[in-house]
Amino acid sequence: MSSSEPASGRIAALDLGEAWTGVAVSDPGGVIAVPVKAVPTGDLTEYLRMLVTSEGIEEILVGVPKTLGGELGFQARRVLAKLDDLRNQLPAVRFVEWDERFTTRVAGARADGGRRKRGSRERLDHLAAAGMLQEYLESRGNL
């Protein structure tokens, strides 16, 4: 499959963080993004191996946090380094870089205004991954 061809299987999305990575997956038709979970980033490669096999994932969207000016800052370089590692570990999967500068952050759109209670350990990274994946699916014109 060439890098310009869209995948025919399901698509996953990653909101890569230093400690946690949010994961979302498309429905089989590639229309709706579904948040899955937040995974410890250290366990991500093994989790993705399982997900690729169990869910038929052929493409993984990875959010790259560029600066507002479009440059690659520290966080973007960190994400791209992890992405290179994932590409080496999962060579059969097509990885797509997604400029997440203007992605609507679904994770912050909560009933409490996006605020967490002090001491709360609730992970919302998978909601951000789902928002990014939904925008990607819509940009492909599958709707």
Q: What domain range is 32 assigned to?
A: 10-138
Instruction: With respect to residue 134, please indicate whether it lies within any of the assigned structural domains.
Output: yes
Residue 131 lies in a domain: yes
Region of poorest pLDDT, from 1-5, 30-34, 62-66: 1-5
Give domain status of residue 124, yes or no.
yes
Is the pLDDT at 98 greater than 70? The verdict is: yes
**What residue type is assigned to position 34 of the chain?**
V
Sheet strands side by side (includes 10-16): 33-40, 20-26, 10-16, 57-64, 94-99
pLDDT band at 71 (very low <50, low <70, confident <90, very high): confident
What is the count of structural domains for the chain? Answer: 1
Residue 143 lies in a domain: no
pLDDT tens figures, 103-127: 655 555 443 444 444 444 467 889 9
Q: pLDDT-based confidence at 86, cuts 50/70/90? A: very high
Is it the case that residue 92 has pLDDT exceeding 80? Answer: yes
DSSP state for residue 10 in the 8-state scheme? E
pLDDT of residue 101: 75
- Establish if 4 belongs to a structural domain: no
Q: Across residues 120-136, what is the average pLDDT?
A: 84
**Arithmetic mean of pLDDT over the chain:** 83
In a domain, 42, yes or no: yes
Which neighbouring-strand residues pair with 141?
none
Q: Could you tell me if 30 and 140 are in contact, meaning their C-beta atoms sit under 8 angstroms apart?
A: yes
CATH number, residue 71: 3.30.420.140
pLDDT of residue 118: 46
The reply to whether 106 falls in a domain is yes
Structure tokens at 38: 């937040």
Q: Give the residue with greater pLDDT, 60 vs 104.
A: 60
Band the pLDDT of 10: cuts 50, 70, 90: very high
Query: Is 16's pLDDT higher than 50?
Result: yes
Distance CA 11, CA 94 (A): 10
Q: Domain for residue 2, yes or no?
A: no
The pTM score is 0.81
Distances from the Cα of 140 to the Cα of 39, 84, 109, 122, 136, angstroms: 27, 24, 24, 32, 6
